[in-house]
Amino acid sequence: MKKLLIAIVMLASSPAFASGGNIHLDHADVDITDQASLQRGAKYFVNYCLNCHSMKYERWQRMLEFDIPEDLLKQNLMPSNAKPGDLMTTAMNPDDAANWFGAPPPDLTLEARLRGDDWIYTYLRSFYIDESRPFGVNNIIFDKVGMPHVLWELQGMQKAIFEEHKDDSGHESHVFKGFEMVKPGKMSTEEYDQMALDLTNFFSYMGDPSKLKRHSLGIKVLLFLLVFFIFAYLLKKEYWKDVH
Ligand code: HEC
């Protein structure tokens, strides 16, 4: 009984974990039917993330579903020795990575299912300067994160503004107020937000690649049941018409 209660409490509290406590998450307007955005997301992932993060529960050929021609997939996105049916692994050794970053970069295949789209979108836009950290950055929704801000040249470097709050018992706390750009990057804020959205879109698709098929099949099944119901009803009327 106790175990059951603990399980229920854990299930009930998991969305709170996913949303990172009381920090506000920005809404990611993902659209997994947007092929251009998925193509850009795939390109960014391969160029900027795959050095450290694998996506090893998916195969390269999954990206053909974004309308990327196979020769372009092979030339531009896949490692030269890989086949389209190979899994998207990374060359980085997890033990080395754990030594370098304090934590190994997790596999990101199911990241959108684990954390949610809004969390990823907010995370990618929430790195800020913090000299006390090994790579000089921290993250508002992932305190003491081991990941360096790999996109800083594009986004720029921002600092976080905190406000001191004292409650009645004299307990002090920092409340996050917003970011201030210190060193602008190559992209404008809108361009960088679009990039974060494209990456989020990509994770959302890869985490649940059959979603579109499932939805279209679901609608067909419901339509079938509706039509079937009409015939079933007419048949029932026919069978019972003499009984009353
Ligand atoms: C230099 C290596 C490196 C690169 C490149 C890198 N990351 Fe990371 N990333 C890490 C490490 C290390 C962690 C684990 C941080 C921790 O647990 O403290 C991490 C964590 C994450 C997490 C949080 C995982 C979780 O749920 O705990 C996300 C999301 C993420 N990275 C996304 C990205 C994306 C998107 C890119 C490409 C734009 C990227 N990373 C590029 C090293 C890297």
The reported pLDDT for the residue numbered 20 is: 42
The reported pLDDT for the residue numbered 107 is: 96
Pick the atom of ligand 1 nearest to 124's CA. Answer: 35
175, burial (CB in 10 Å: exposed 0-12, middle 13-18, buried 19+): exposed
Distance CA 211, CA 205 (A): 8
Distance CA 198, CA 193 (A): 9
Residue 28: DSSP 8-state: P
Cβ atoms of 168 and 138 within 8 Å: the answer is no
The reported pLDDT for the residue numbered 6 is: 66
**Count of alpha carbons within 13 Å of 64, Cβ hemisphere only?**
11
Residue with tokens 């985490």: 207
The reported pLDDT for the residue numbered 9 is: 60
Cβ atoms of 152 and 185 within 8 Å: the answer is yes
Strands of the chain, DSSP E: 55-59, 87-88, 127-129, 137-139, 156-166, 172-184
Query: Measuring from atom 24 of ligand 1, which residue has the nearest CA?
Result: 106
Contacts of 91 (CB under 8 A, 6+ apart): 51
Closest CA to 111 of 168, 173, 41: 41
The reported pLDDT for the residue numbered 17 is: 44
Cβ atoms of 122 and 159 within 8 Å: the answer is no
Residue 60: DSSP 8-state: G
Going by their DSSP bridges, the two strands 156-166 and 87-88 should be labelled as unpaired
Return the exposure string of 130-147: e unless at least 16 CB atoms fall within 10 Å of the residue's CB, then b. Answer: beebebebbbbbbeebbb
Residue with tokens 């854990």: 10
List pocket residues of ligand 1, CB cut-off 6 Å.
48-49, 51-53, 101, 103, 105-106, 111, 114-115, 120, 123-124, 145-148, 150-151, 199
Q: Give the distance (Å) from ligand 1 centre to CA of residue 106.
A: 7
Q: Give the distance (Å) from ligand 1 centre to CA of residue 149.
A: 9
Per-residue confidence in pLDDT tens, the chain, 244 aa: 667 666 666 555 544 444 444 678 999 999 999 999 999 999 999 999 999 999 999 999 999 999 999 999 999 999 999 999 999 999 888 889 989 999 999 999 999 999 999 999 999 999 999 999 999 999 999 999 999 999 999 999 999 999 988 888 888 888 899 999 999 999 999 999 999 999 999 999 999 999 999 999 999 999 999 999 999 999 999 999 988 6
- The model's pTM: 0.87
Tokens representing 233?
């009803």
Going by their DSSP bridges, the two strands 127-129 and 87-88 should be labelled as unpaired
